[in-house]
């Protein structure tokens, strides 16, 4: 299936979970990442239970403070 991650088109197996996608996309320190799927906020604790669908738009939103809290691939 085709999904969109940060605006880029990606191919995943149908029903892939958000956890699989986060791993494949090498999201760093995902415990402190919020995913926005379409317009819903999904916390890391729920990544494994969210099965994605064709056309879903996924964003990984990182805490950004200052020069200390590095969280990105």
* Interacting residues toward other proteins by CB under 8 A: 6-7, 31-32, 34, 36, 39, 41, 43, 59, 61-72
Which is closer to other proteins, CB of 8 or CB of 13?
Answer: 8
Which is closer to other proteins, CB of 14 or CB of 68?
Answer: 68
Query: Cβ-count burial of 52 within 10 angstroms (0-12 exposed, 13-18 middle, 19+ buried)?
Result: buried
Distance between CA atoms of 54 and 24, rounded to whole angstroms? 17
Which is closer to other proteins, CB of 15 or CB of 70?
Answer: 70
DSSP secondary structure letter of residue 47: G
């Amino acid at each position: 299936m085709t999904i969109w991650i940060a605006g880029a088109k990606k191919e995943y197996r149908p029903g892939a979970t958000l956890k699989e996608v986060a791993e494949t996309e090498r999201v760093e320190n995902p415990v402190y990442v919020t995913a926005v799927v379409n317009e819903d906020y999904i916390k890391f604790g729920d990544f494994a239970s969210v099965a994605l669908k064709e056309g879903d738009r996924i964003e990984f939103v990182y805490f950004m403070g200052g020069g200390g809290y590095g969280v990105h691939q």
